[in-house]
Structure 1
Amino acid sequence: MKVDVLGVPFDNTTRKDALRQLLNFLTEDHNHLLITPNPEIVMEAQEDEELMKILNEAELVVPDGIGVVLASKFEKNSIKERVPGCDLMFDLFEVMKDMEKSVYILGGAPGVAEKAKRRMGEKYRNLNIIGVHHGYFNEQEEEKIINEIKQLKPDLLMVGLGCPRQEKWIYKNKHKLPVKVSAGIGGTIDIMAGTAKRAPIIFQKMGLEWLHRLLAQPTRIRRIIKLPLFLLTVLKNKINRK
């Protein structure tokens, strides 16, 4: 079941069910797109037709932001729970480490993907990360990356290039890449590498990771302020539909 939030169709799923869906994707012979939008991405899609099209065509769209869950309360069927992309990837690693499945990591600053590979290999023994590449590449390097992915044929391709670049990159190349799941995962690579830290568990459980990030980086205020604007836009949209 889908829940529409400002034109973005979110899967009304739980973290456990989303994991189950990804595992099903890994058994199929075509490339499935996973996107984890937060309110900022939903707002960006209001002005970006290409991004909105991609969000509507993705096979799995989960809410990586408490604001999306709150906004869904204005709909008949509200979203069951927040599904952070980072947690979902770690859940998937936990299962994949005992499967004959492979991972390719694309994104982050030079050296970050390599560090992420090393740390994840230590945390999830036997997880098969068969390739990595940083996200600072030009068109010529892009062709080499695509050829490498074609040669390696990973089951899971993690792309962290920032929104909307990562979503558009995956969509543009989706039918070229012989992978089972392409995941747009934003800053998850930095968390995997340890170059960025998640909020304490208490903040995560209360849906206040955004507040922790703001306290750690006050310069993020321009991004955080989009959350109340997002909720106001949802409320206005609800009123206009009456």
Structure 2
Amino acid sequence: MESVSVFGIRIDNITLEEASRTVEEYLMEDGLKTISTPNTEIVMNAKDDEYLRRIINESDLVIPDGIGLIYGSRIRKKPLKERVTGFDLSIKLLEIANKKGYSLFLLGGKEGVAKRAGENIKIKYPNIRLAGYHHGYFKGSHTGHKDYEEELEIIDKINKSKPDIIFVGFGFPRQEIWIAENKNRIYGKVIIGNGGTMDILSGDSKRAPEIFQKLGLEWLYRLIREPKRIKRQVVLPKFMLYVLFSKDAIQ
């Protein structure tokens, strides 16, 4: 699979439809495949962090979930085909699971979020087998407590439920760390760190209106709704400056 390197982070050059076909193939294979969903903010955080770069690069599929990555790649004449969001690929996974009767485990969110997400999923995708769910507020690898008793109990719960697909919604970098540290002892076919997807599926949050999505301005919509995000959003202009003034930023 063709990829583009952004500050040393591998971004697979893939469309949503191509990613969908790829994960459909994963679901027919043995072993657990991991999916990372870096956006511009994640890339900027991982740029100077060797561990985060490594765990993202070791994922089986790394999708370009940030409009800044698309613009930056075009500026440096290494164009990524299109933005592929973790939310959109997660919905594709649900559609595939509904069609083929695959099972799903939901891990993440505050108490009750995963449960509500599961209930809503079952209404819209009745052929999915909901293997189980658990909130994301526990001590484990993502909080610096690897092999903590609660983490081991959750992994055992996941494995006993025999899921095909696992959604992990802790937010970056916790979900990436948790997946990387535990992937070798989790039974399943596909595991994806998909941030706030579960909050949207539960009805606790809303996605940006379609016009914002098409224009690549979901970040602006979130900023308008949550002005305190301004401290996080300053990474976007920083990223573009790095791209403009560093020839080696994107290869």
Q: TM-score range by the shorter chain?
A: over 0.9
Aligned partners of 1:67 and 1:231 also within 8 Å: yes
Q: How far apart in 1 are the matches of 2:119 and 2:153?
A: 23
TM-score norm. by structure 1 comes to 0.96
Indicate if the aligned counterparts of 1:6 and 1:234 stay in contact, CA closer than 8 A: no
Tell which deviates more after alignment, 74-83 or 6-15: 74-83
What residue in structure 2 maps to residue 128 of structure 1?
A: 129
Partner of residue 42, structure 1: 43
The aligned residue for residue 246 of structure 2 is 237
CA contact (8 A) 1:119 1:193 kept: yes
Instruction: Give 1:202-217 correspondences, 5 Å limit.
Output: 202-217=211-226
Q: What is the rounded CA distance, in whole Å, between the counterparts of 1:239 and 1:131 in structure 2? A: 45
Structure 2 spans left out of the alignment, 5+ residues: 140-147
**Residue 71 (structure 1) aligns with:** 72
Q: Is the 8 A contact 1:74 1:238 kept in 2?
A: no
Q: What does residue 21 of structure 1 align with?
A: 22
- 1:173 alignment partner in structure 2: 182
Decide whether the 8 Å contact of 2:223 with 2:230 is kept in 1: yes
How many residue pairs get aligned? The number is 241
Give TM-score scaled by structure 2 length. 0.93
Residue among 174, 186, 193 paired with 2:202 = 193
- Determine if contact 2:168/2:194 at 8 Å carries over to the other structure: yes
State the partner residue of 1:163.
172
Distance across 1 between alignment mates of 2:228 and 2:124: 32
Residues 1:240 and 1:198: Cα distance change in structure 2 (over 3 Å): closer
Instruction: Give identity over the alignment, percent.
Output: 47
Write the distance in 2 (CA, Å) between the matches of 1:140 and 1:221: 37
- For 2:101, the equivalent position in structure 1 comes to 100
**1:47 shift after superposition:** 2.6
- Corresponding residue number in structure 2 for 1:153: 162
Q: Give me the whole-angstrom Cα distance separating, in 1, the residues matched to 2:190 and 2:90.
A: 11
Question: Structure 2 counterpart of 1:152, which letter?
Answer: S
The alignment partner of 1:98 has SS state of helix
In 2, the alpha carbon distance for the partners of 1:207 and 1:240 equals 22
Cα 1:240–1:202, aligned 2, differ >3 Å: closer, same or farther?
Answer: closer
What residue ranges of structure 1 are gaps of 5+ in the alignment?
A: none
Secondary structure of 1:89's aligned partner:
helix
Deviation at 1:189, TM superposition (A): 0.7
1:45-90 CA distances to partner (integer Å, 9 max, x unpaired)?
1232111001111110011110111111133431000001101111
Q: RMSD across aligned C-alpha pairs, in angstroms?
A: 1.4
